[in-house]
Chains A and B, each alone.
Chain A
Amino acid sequence: EDQVTQSPEALRLQEGESSSLNCSYTVSGLRGLFWYRQDPGKGPEFLFTLYSAGEEKEKERLKATLTKKESFLHITAPKPEDSATYLCAVQAKYGGSQGNLIFGKGTKLSVKP
């Protein structure tokens, strides 16, 4: 069964304290792994897509990496405005769920000034 597990469920950081969020996945052939940011009361906002192990992508203070079993979202010197829930999702290459995304439950990040 295709599955995504994110850890930790919640993470509290001080402003400037770097850390990483984890996304572990099992999927019948990975078509793509997606990171989204979700603010309270809003829909998910796209951040990154990763397609193959070893791939990395960066945007401002965020860097996403991918291995064959997991992805990390590294946050460098976070600011309070980075506070949000970060969602990881995969899209399968085979099986019945080829079009839709399979989401983890998310990591709620709080950055205190």
Chain B
Amino acid sequence: GAGVSQSPSNKVTEKGKDVELRCDPISGHTALYWYRQRLGQGLEFLIYFQGNSAPDKSGLPSDRFSAERTGESVSTLTIQRTQQEDSAVYLCASSLVAGTDTQYFGPGTRLTVL
């Protein structure tokens, strides 16, 4: 079956602009996660959604970052007023449920803020 997909694969934007990144999880997966991977750093957790429960936003670095998910499908990560330090690869993962189920990752979106 299809894996996790993300779009766009690459995004170049100017400082101060807003960007939206999209994630399509594996069908049937109720949990969806967003991570950020900056050059030379480990993956940083940003936010996760589990079914219809309130999302865990504890990893969002500032109020410029937000995410939404429609039911158990597509999720959008929005970064407002982008800064150069937001440049990174943004990775989405999904799992059957949050917990010990394996998280399967998408290919990521490489964001470059000029």
Contact = CB atoms under 8 A, between A and B. Distances in A.
Interface of A: 4, 31-32, 34, 36, 41-46, 49, 51, 87, 89, 91, 96-106
Contacts, number: 67
B58 A96 contact: yes
B42 A104 contact: yes
Contacts of A41: 107
A41 B39 CA distance: 12
Q: What range describes how many residues of B lie at the interface?
A: 20 to 34
A16 B19 CA distance: 46
B12 interface: no
Interface of B: 4, 31, 33, 35, 40-45, 48, 50, 56, 58-59, 91, 93, 98-100, 102-108
Which of B40, B42, B91 has the most CB atoms of chain A within a 10 A radius of its CB?
B42
B50 A99 contact: yes
Contacts of A91: 99-100
A44 B91 contact: yes
Contacts of B4: 43
Closest 7 CB pairs of A and B: A43-B105, A100-B45, A99-B98, A103-B42, A103-B43, A105-B42, A32-B100
